[in-house]
């Protein structure tokens, strides 16, 4: 029996959700929503077989969930931030204790290799640790006042319940980026996860709320599983949620942004990426090629930071493609829970069809398929959604329209250039602006890439790949990527409201800009 068939009841027991009222083992329906819409059935993409199901929300139950989150916020906002940090610290410790079974569940449900599943849970632990330190800060400014005996300060207050909508590819960490920061900022979280990953969401939310409840704080973390019309749209439209943080496609982001803007709410959008890596003439290929390989095939190409376009100086193009093809030949495709697997399955049959269609479109547009581009047959996992990662070399004139479409799959398009200026233009030609990279041993070229006229992406790396961002820096991108920022740096400000305060400690009324507004008792003559 394949190791992809895991003891799900044992995982559920380890994570404390085996008796959860919303968990349904041995679901009577295949993956997706049940015909009556009451169950979200999760399937293992390595086998195509259902794992378990989670009961979905009704409109009434969603309204009740929002009400609980709002009432919890009214109390939580008054808890001192350092005390809120203690709750988050305890949550981080519980995720540490349960890292292995939760990481396995991530791998089982969305097809990530086990190392990536464990790494994702570690990312939530890391952002929780970051948030604990932040709980002792949340700093405001003291500003000089132009008026004598006045003081001007800026402070930050909790914002409210936060609506969090996540995609399947990071079913734990993206929630963590939002929920852990929101918690120390004094906010509660209402989470709408992907229907491809309801089990990870159920376990993740249950762990966090179980800890919070044990410390006297109910409903800080609530879960709303269901389809867009029943859950996502009501969340987006609800004024009780002053901020909607949404991760997904550019199309989804436009719909969310327009709806939230109509009610004058806030959006934090983390949308698509069509990321490029540049290899210039001075690059160290022993460094560049492995980084590109991971960036292109990690998570089976299903990261928003996946390397999708490779822009190589013409003097190195043949050598780089030779090395890439050789490296791809060593990639082990198969059961994501098996030791040694580097690439697991795509999330769905539709994703496999999109992959194959993109490869055919590239060939029709003059692209040359160097390797991969087919369905992969894995013994014992014949119903799995496996593909062979593809490398496609663009025609000499670099015209390949399909490369400007984000296909969520392991396809790497290779282009050649003569100059760095040309390479930067190609890097910036995508509609999205999430992540970018340059491999170079030239200090000047590195600085040109990072200059205002260089990469237009929210993330720009030198001698490091496009994926694998650390939690300490703000994560997000420009243009069609949505402009949002999550995780580190000052991203916490998105979850709070700014307040400017003027304090007069004198005995006179003084107006800014030197304005005088004195009472005059004289009567006009005449």
Show the tokens assigned to 132.
């604990």
* Gap between the Cα atoms of 176 and 199, Å rounded: 16
Architecture of the domain delimited by 275-472: 3-Layer(aba) Sandwich (3.40)
- Pick 8-271's CATH classification: 2.60.120.10, 3.50.50.60, 3.40.605.10, 2.40.50.100: 3.40.605.10
Three-state SS for 519? coil
* Gap between the Cα atoms of 389 and 329, Å rounded: 10
Q: What percent of the chain has pLDDT over 90?
A: 95
Summarize the confidence of residues 167-191 as an average pLDDT.
Answer: 98
pLDDT in tens, 228-275: 999 999 999 999 999 999 999 999 999 999 999 999 999 999 999 999
Least confident range from 298-307, 357-366, 405-414, 514-523: namely 514-523
Residue-level pLDDT at 117: 97
Residue whose pair of structure tokens reads 């200026």 in the numeric block: 421
| Domain segments of the chain as ranges | 8-271, 275-472
Please list, in sequence order, all residues whose beta carbon lies within 8 angstroms of the beta carbon of residue 503, skipping any fewer than 6 positions away. 150, 151, 152, 153
Residue 524 has pLDDT above 70, yes or no: no
* Gap between the Cα atoms of 216 and 89, Å rounded: 15
Q: Do 275-472 and 8-271 have the same topology in CATH?
A: no
Instruction: Count other Cβ atoms within 10 Å, centred on residue 194.
Output: 24
pLDDT in tens, 182-229: 999 999 999 999 999 999 999 999 999 999 999 999 999 999 999 999
Q: pLDDT-based confidence at 7, cuts 50/70/90? A: confident
The residues that are catalytic are 270, 304
Q: What percent of the chain has pLDDT over 70?
A: 97
Please list, in sequence order, all residues whose beta carbon lies within 8 angstroms of the beta carbon of residue 521, skipping any fewer than 6 positions away. none
Residue-level pLDDT at 518: 73
* Gap between the Cα atoms of 90 and 274, Å rounded: 37
């Amino acid at each position: 029996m394949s190791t992809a068939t895991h003891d799900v009841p044992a995982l559920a027991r380890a994570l404390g959700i085996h008796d959860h009222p919303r968990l349904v083992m041995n679901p009577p329906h295949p993956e997706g929503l049940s015909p009556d819409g009451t169950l979200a059935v999760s399937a293992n993409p390595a086998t195509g077989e259902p794992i378990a199901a989670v009961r979905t929300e009704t409109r009434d139950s969603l309204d009740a969930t929002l009400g609980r989150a709002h009432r919890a916020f009214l109390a939580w906002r008054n808890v001192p931030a350092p005390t809120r940090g203690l709750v988050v610290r305890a949550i981080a410790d519980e995720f540490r204790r349960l890292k292995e079974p939760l990481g396995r569940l991530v791998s089982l449900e969305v097809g990530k290799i086990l190392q990536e599943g464990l790494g994702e849970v570690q990312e939530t632990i890391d952002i929780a640790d970051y948030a604990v330190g932040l709980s002792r800060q949340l700093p405001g400014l003291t500003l000089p006042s132009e008026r004598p005996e006045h003081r001007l300060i800026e402070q930050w207050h909790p914002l409210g319940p936060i609506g969090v909508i996540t995609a399947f590819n990071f079913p734990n960490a993206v929630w963590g980026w939002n929920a852990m920061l929101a918690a120390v900022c004094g906010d509660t979280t209402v989470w709408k996860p992907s229907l491809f990953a309801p089990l990870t969401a159920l376990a993740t939310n249950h762990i966090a709320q179980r800890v919070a409840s044990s410390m006297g704080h109910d409903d800080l973390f609530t879960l709303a599983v269901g389809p867009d019309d029943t859950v996502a749209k009501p969340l987006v439209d609800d004024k009780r949620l002053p901020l909607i943080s949404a991760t997904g496609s550019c199309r989804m982001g436009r719909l969310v942004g327009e709806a939230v803007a109509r009610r004058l709410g806030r959006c934090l959008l983390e949308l698509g990426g069509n990321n490029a890596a540049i290899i210039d003439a001075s690059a160290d290929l022993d460094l560049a090629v492995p980084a590109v390989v991971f960036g292109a095939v990690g998570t089976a190409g299903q990261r928003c930071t996946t390397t999708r376009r490779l822009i190589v100086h013409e003097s190195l193009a043949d050598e780089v493609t030779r090395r890439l093809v050789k490296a791809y030949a060593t990639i082990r495709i198969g059961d994501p829970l098996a030791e040694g697997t580097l690439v697991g399955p795509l999330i769905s049959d539709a994703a496999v069809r999109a992959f194959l269609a993109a490869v055919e479109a590239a060939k029709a547009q003059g692209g040359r398929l160097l390797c991969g581009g087919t369905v992969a047959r894995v013994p014992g996992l014949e119903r799995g959604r496996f593909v062979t990662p593809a490398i496609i070399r663009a025609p000499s004139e670099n015209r390949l329209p399909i490369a400007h479409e984000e296909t969520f799959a392991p396809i790497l398009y290779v282009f050649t250039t003569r100059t760095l200026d040309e390479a930067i233009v190609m890097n910036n030609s995508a509609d999205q602006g999430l992540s970018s990279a340059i491999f170079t041993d030239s200090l000047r070229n590195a600085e040109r890439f990072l200059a205002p006229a260089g990469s237009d992406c929210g993330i720009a790396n030198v001698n490091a790949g496009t994926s694998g961002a650390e939690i300490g820096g703000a994560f997000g991108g420009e243009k069609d990527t949505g402009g949002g920022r999550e995780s580190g740096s000052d991203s916490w400000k998105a979850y709070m409201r700014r307040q400017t305060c003027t304090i007069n400690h004198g005995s006179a009324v003084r107006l800014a800009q030197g304005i005088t507004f004195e009472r005059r008792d004289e009567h006009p003559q005449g």
